[in-house]
Amino acid sequence: GNSVTQMEGPVTLSEEAFLTINCTYTATGYPSLFWYVQYPGEGLQLLLKATKADDKGSNKGFEATYRKETTSFHLEKGSVQVSDSAVYFCALSDPSNTGKLIFGQGTTLQVKP
Amino acid sequence: GAVVSQHPSRVICKSGTSVKIECRSLDFQATTMFWYRQFPKQSLMLMATSNEGSKATYEQGVEKDKFLINHASLTLSTLTVTSAHPEDSSFYICSATGRQGQETQYFGPGTRLLVL
């Protein structure tokens, strides 16, 4: 079946450190891949997405590249800020085109000043 | 663009009462809306998919008589938790897509339900 696996958190970093949150997926067909961010007490916000292999999604200094050969979509940021503290969810779109999203379990990022 | 709102943001109710949560797409027409439930420190669990003008499709294990979903217009879907019990306390989040088959879902800010 289709699934998403994220690295377990929490991830704790100092401000300006480099961030990587690993995400791997299993899917039949050719899904689109997404990163969503959830700030405390809020709903999810789309951070970035990629719709086909080798596409790079980027937004607010975050990047992720759709790697079909390694079935991965790792999230990276060169220099994190305290305001990046949140829960990050990797997701893939259901390849059978139902519009559903399949989420990973989420990774909590805590950035300390 | 692509803003989704939810109302109320928080609700506390007594056991046995019903609670209605609204989900609105403010600046686009949402042909499909999704309802999720999120437990503390866990991922989102899809409850149902709602297409405008048709009955909702519920995920396995979700009681359709317990969680009534109505999607009467292209900008509004409602989730009614009927005869709520403490175990229904959770964070309920809706999302919407702009047209059939569009992949990007835009999420509402969520509704925190506490059943006493």
Considering only CA atoms, which of B40, B23, B38, B39 is closest in space to residue B105? Answer: B23
Six-digit token string for A10? 């929490």
Q: Determine, for residues B95 and A104 on separate chains, whether the beta-carbon distance falls below 8 Å.
A: no
Tens place of pLDDT per residue across chain A (113 aa): 889 999 888 999 999 999 999 999 999 888 999 999 999 878 889 999 999 999 999 999 999 999 999 999 999 999 999 999 999 999 998 777 677 898 999 999 999 99
Q: For residue A17, what pLDDT is reported?
A: 97
Residue A82, φ and ψ in degrees, nearest 5: -55, -35
* Chain A interface includes B43 (CB < 8 A): yes
Put simply, whether B51 touches A (Cβ < 8 Å) is no
DSSP helix/strand/coil, A81:
coil
For B62-115, write each residue's pLDDT tens digit. 999 999 999 888 899 999 999 999 999 999 999 998 765 566 788 999 999 999
Tell me the pLDDT tens digit for each residue of B10-64.
Answer: 999 999 999 999 999 998 888 899 999 988 878 888 999 998 888 899 999 999 9
3-state secondary structure of A67: strand
Q: Across the interface, do B103 and A32 touch by the CB < 8 Å criterion?
A: yes
Residue A40 CB: number of other CB atoms within 10 A? 7
> CB-side exposure of B57: number of CA atoms within 13 Å?
9
